[in-house]
Amino acid sequence: MLNKAAQKSIAHAVSANFSSQVEFLSGIVRAKSPNPYTPQDSPLDEPVEKEVADLIFEKLSEYGFSPRYIGPSKNRANVVVEWGNKRARNSLMLNGHMDTIPPEGNDVISPYSGSVRSGKLHGLGSLDMKGTLSCYLYAAKALKDAGIKLAGKLILAFVVDEESGSCSAYGTQYLLEKGIVPRACIIGEHGSKYVRTGQRGVYRFKLVVKGESVHTGVSAWENGEKGRNAIADMARAINALQDLEIPYKASRTFPGRRPVFTFPTKVVGGSAMNVVPDQCTAYGDVRLMPGNSDSQVKLLIVEKLQKLSIDYEIVDMMFVPAVEIDTKEPIVEFLQKEAKEVLGYVPETKGSGPGTDGWMLIKRDVPTVFGFGPDGSGEHGRGEWVELSSLEKITEIYARTIASFLA
Ligand SMILES: [Zn+2]
């Protein structure tokens, strides 16, 4: 529990630094970091987030912190800073991604403007989630300015390659494998109405069906001696998979939801109008509930396809498991309590979609909040923005939560 004097000095420091925070956020929004890649082709040698990483690194250094670049390559390095009692067993990580989705063609406002108009800061990534990154940095700065001493260790992790599908080995996963494993974690994805205590999972795969290619004019095809139509076989596979149901247990985090199997979402096949196609590929997308796995879905697919005697292969594209935490986890309760003091209401707990690296932490038994951050909007084609008054409040809530969780 923070005493009143500490609460006051934190609030004062957040507000005294806020114009610098807005200027810093403008800068990292203008620093482009669109990530158009998939988990399979995200390159190690392209500086996707590097400009943002360098700005964060410089600002942390300027404020007297000791940031480090930790990553699989120079161009895809995460920025990590530890502060407080570095040998403490109790630790808290605030984790957020530096990349954004690619700009959309119909974005009517300049996607990288970073400009401020009537209390809103505009630009791609301002809400998802560079605004949050600025809150992390200025929460730490406020604690420092307010003279707060932490008994535990604070870890700020600014990570790469999340928008490729929240299953990259370069970002959060890389840090965990290097032994940077906190006692608890907050991923401050936007929205202050809810504390997200779970996320649904996703499994994407492609089904490759093989046939035998032959010219449609030859007698071997006419007589059924040669050739097999891979697209016709795929049609049978598609039919067979239409009624596939994935068993699941009801979840408290996702009331009323169930696994959703969609196949196909995309089909590719054939080479010419007069050639029997020797290959057809179709993609599938499966939304998962806690307890569901990729191998479970694959077994169910195989069970259906076995009966068809077709030549096929299932190739994994990505898998993010559904995860949830107990809503009574200390990190949830600390965050709710501090949010109530600053916002005047308790944000309820709720589940979310599969969009964060949080499952990597859950796999290592680290209780993780999957979302609680600033408010704003990102409607398609209308530009993305973050509300400045909310940004300031969230910074204060993070600072108070760090101070009380690590007291
Ligand atoms: Zn995000």
Indicate which CATH number applies to the domain containing 165.
Answer: 3.40.630.10
pLDDT at 287 over 80: yes
d(CA 359, CA 9): 35
CA–centroid distance, residue 166 to ligand 1 (Å):
9
pLDDT at 383 over 90: no
Distance of CA 27 to the CA centre of its chain: 22
Number of domains in the chain: 2
State the DSSP code for 104: P
380: pLDDT confidence band, cut at 50, 70 and 90?
Answer: low
pLDDT at 379: 63
> Average pLDDT of 20-26?
98
CA–centroid distance, residue 333 to ligand 1 (Å):
23
pLDDT at 381 over 60: no
pLDDT at 112: 87
Choosing from 289, 320, 351, the residue where a domain stops is: 320
Q: Do 180 and 235 have their domain in common? A: no
Q: Do 72 and 193 have their domain in common? A: yes
CA–centroid distance, residue 259 to ligand 1 (Å):
22
pLDDT at 12: 98
Choosing from 320, 348, 382, the residue where a domain stops is: 320
CA–centroid distance, residue 356 to ligand 1 (Å):
7
Domain that holds residue 27: 4-200+322-405
Distance of CA 270 to the CA centre of its chain: 36
pLDDT at 343: 98
Q: Do 211 and 300 have their domain in common? A: yes
Q: Residues 185-216: pLDDT tens digits?
A: 999 999 999 999 999 999 999 999 999 999 99
109: pLDDT confidence band, cut at 50, 70 and 90?
Answer: low
Closest to 355 (Cα-Cα) out of 201, 203, 205, 204:
201
Please give the structure tokens belonging to residue 87.
């040998």
CA–centroid distance, residue 101 to ligand 1 (Å):
9
104: pLDDT confidence band, cut at 50, 70 and 90?
Answer: confident
d(CA 294, CA 230): 25
Q: Do 316 and 326 have their domain in common? A: no
CA–centroid distance, residue 358 to ligand 1 (Å):
11
pLDDT at 394 over 60: yes
CA–centroid distance, residue 200 to ligand 1 (Å):
15
- Could you give phi then psi for residue 374, rounded to 5 degrees? -65, 160
Q: Do 270 and 134 have their domain in common? A: no
State the DSSP code for 2: -
Helix (H) or strand (E) holding 376: strand 376-377
CA–centroid distance, residue 151 to ligand 1 (Å):
30
CA–centroid distance, residue 96 to ligand 1 (Å):
8
Q: Do 332 and 191 have their domain in common? A: yes
106: pLDDT confidence band, cut at 50, 70 and 90?
Answer: low
Choosing from 290, 320, 350, the residue where a domain stops is: 320
Q: Do 205 and 192 have their domain in common? A: no
CATH number of the domain that residue 259 is part of: 3.30.70.360
pLDDT at 355: 84
Average pLDDT, the chain: 95
CA–centroid distance, residue 357 to ligand 1 (Å):
9
Protein residues placing their CB within 5 Å of the ion ligand 1: 128-129
CA–centroid distance, residue 163 to ligand 1 (Å):
7
pLDDT at 107: 67
CA–centroid distance, residue 213 to ligand 1 (Å):
44
CA–centroid distance, residue 189 to ligand 1 (Å):
6
Q: Do 333 and 396 have their domain in common? A: yes
CA–centroid distance, residue 99 to ligand 1 (Å):
8
Q: Do 307 and 256 have their domain in common? A: yes
Q: Do 146 and 106 have their domain in common? A: yes
d(CA 13, CA 19): 11
40: pLDDT confidence band, cut at 50, 70 and 90?
Answer: confident
CA–centroid distance, residue 385 to ligand 1 (Å):
14
CA–centroid distance, residue 100 to ligand 1 (Å):
7
Closest to 200 (Cα-Cα) out of 358, 332, 316:
358
d(CA 231, CA 211): 8
Q: Do 168 and 79 have their domain in common? A: yes
Please give the residue that has the higher pLDDT: either 380 or 358. 358
pLDDT at 56 over 60: yes
pLDDT at 111: 84
The 3-class secondary structure across 335-357, one letter per residue, is: HHHHHHHHHCCCCEEEEECCCCC
CA–centroid distance, residue 94 to ligand 1 (Å):
13
CA–centroid distance, residue 355 to ligand 1 (Å):
6
Q: Do 370 and 260 have their domain in common? A: no
What's the whole-model pTM score?
A: 0.93
